[in-house]
């Protein structure tokens, strides 16, 4: 299995990642655990989840269920050190958690603790922001997202504040690296500039929509990834 580094970190992951987006609505705990074990046998060491999973549908009752299924695997004797575990902090004011509060320096510590508890682990290898607070072009949202309503100064201030809170988690040993999801090239470059300006973990990775039917990453996002070492 080919291995790749996450951005400029020293974390190496398999070229293929085991996704878990529907664990808990479309399969059982036993089926999910069988997938984990099969992936390990194939040389995969990278597992991605999120606090809002499972989807299809997203509901208040199922928030965190997928993380809990993974945590049960660790509880039952699964080796934590064999996996690079990635999870995500919900964004865009998702109404099912924290009364719809957007991602901020005030929400990060609480959200990290919730994921750690459900995952039954002391640390998260890659902690990602699931959606930018200001909105996104990903997953058909490009028809609705209008950036003219945002204040760029407020966006940058939020980034500075969040990076400070993330650095506190790095110092505490609860997260190893920071990544983004469903971001734009402009937004990613602002995060990179904020890290250079005030410290805090540098964006290591980007998880955006990409398929044979959606190849938008091949344009400006790809250029950003190559020039800025964002995997």
The answer to whether 145 and 171 are in contact (CB under 8 A) is no
Instruction: Give the range among 90-94, 111-115, 224-228 with minimum mean pLDDT.
Output: 90-94
How high is the pLDDT of residue 149? 84
How high is the pLDDT of residue 90? 94
Give residue 148's pLDDT band: very low, low, confident or very high (50, 70, 90). very high
**Distances in Å between the alpha carbon of 118 and those of 31, 36, 64, 115, 222?**
18, 17, 7, 5, 34
Active-site pick, 53, 127, 210, 217: 53
How high is the pLDDT of residue 92? 79
CA distance 19 to 134: 26
Count Cβ atoms below 10 Å from residue 230 Cβ, excluding itself. Answer: 24
Q: Which residues contact 54 (CB under 8 A, 6 or more apart)?
A: 20, 21, 22, 23, 24, 25, 26, 62, 65, 66
| Average pLDDT in the chain | 96
Q: Which residue has the higher pLDDT, 58 or 203?
A: 203
Map out the domains of the chain as residue ranges: 3-228
| β-bridge partners, 127 | 87, 178
3-class DSSP string for the chain: CCEEECCCCCCEEECCCEECCCCCCCCCHHHHHHHHHHHHHCCCCEEECCCCCCCCCCCCCCCCHHHHHHHHHHHCCCCHHHCEEEEEECCCCCCCCHHHCCCCCCCHHHHHHHHHHHHCCCCEEEEEECCCCCCCCCCCHHHCCCHHHCCHHHHHHHHHHHHHHHHHHHHHCCEEEEEEECCCHHHHHHHHHHHHHHCCCCEEEEECCCECCECHHHCHHHHHHHHHCCC
pTM for the predicted model, two decimal places:
0.96
pLDDT, average across residues 193-220: 95
Q: What CATH code would you report for 3-228? A: 3.20.20.100
Beta strands across the sheet bearing 203-207? 18-19, 46-48, 84-89, 124-129, 175-181, 203-207
Task: With a cut of 80, say whether residue 223 has pLDDT above it.
Answer: yes
pLDDT, average across residues 15-29: 96
pLDDT tens-digit readout, 37-53 = 999 999 999 999 999 99
**Distances in Å between the alpha carbon of 194 and those of 33, 156, 220?**
39, 7, 20
pLDDT tens-digit readout, 106-137 = 999 999 999 999 999 999 999 999 999 999 99
Percent of the chain's residues with pLDDT above 90: 90
How high is the pLDDT of residue 205? 98
Is residue 53 annotated as a catalytic residue, yes or no? yes
Task: With a cut of 80, say whether residue 204 has pLDDT above it.
Answer: yes
């Amino acid at each position: 299995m080919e291995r790749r580094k996450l951005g400029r970190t020293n974390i190496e992951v398999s070229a293929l990642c085991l996704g878990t987006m529907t664990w808990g609505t479309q399969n059982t705990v036993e089926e999910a655990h069988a997938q984990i074990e099969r992936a390990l046998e194939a040389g995969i060491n990278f597992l991605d989840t999120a606090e809002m999973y499972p989807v299809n549908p997203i509901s208040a009752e199922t928030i965190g269920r997928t993380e809990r299924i993974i945590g049960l695997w660790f509880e039952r004797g699964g080796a934590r050190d064999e996996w690079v575990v990635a999870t995500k902090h919900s964004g865009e004011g998702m109404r099912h958690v924290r009364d719809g509060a957007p991602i901020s320096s005030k929400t990060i510590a609480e959200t990290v603790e919730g994921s750690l508890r459900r995952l039954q682990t002391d640390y998260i290898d890659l902690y990602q922001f699931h959606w930018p607070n200001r909105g996104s072009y990903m997953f058909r949202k490009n028809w609705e997202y209008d950036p003219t309503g945002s204040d760029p100064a407020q966006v940058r201030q939020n980034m500075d504040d969040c990076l400070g809170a993330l650095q506190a988690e790095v110092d505490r040993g609860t997260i190893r690296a920071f990544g983004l999801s469903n971001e734009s090239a402009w937004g990613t470059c602002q995060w990179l500039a904020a890290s250079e300006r005030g410290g805090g973990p540098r964006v290591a990775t980007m998880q955006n929509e990409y398929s044979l039917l959606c190849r938008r990453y091949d344009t400006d996002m790809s250029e950003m990834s190559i020039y800025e070492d964002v995997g």
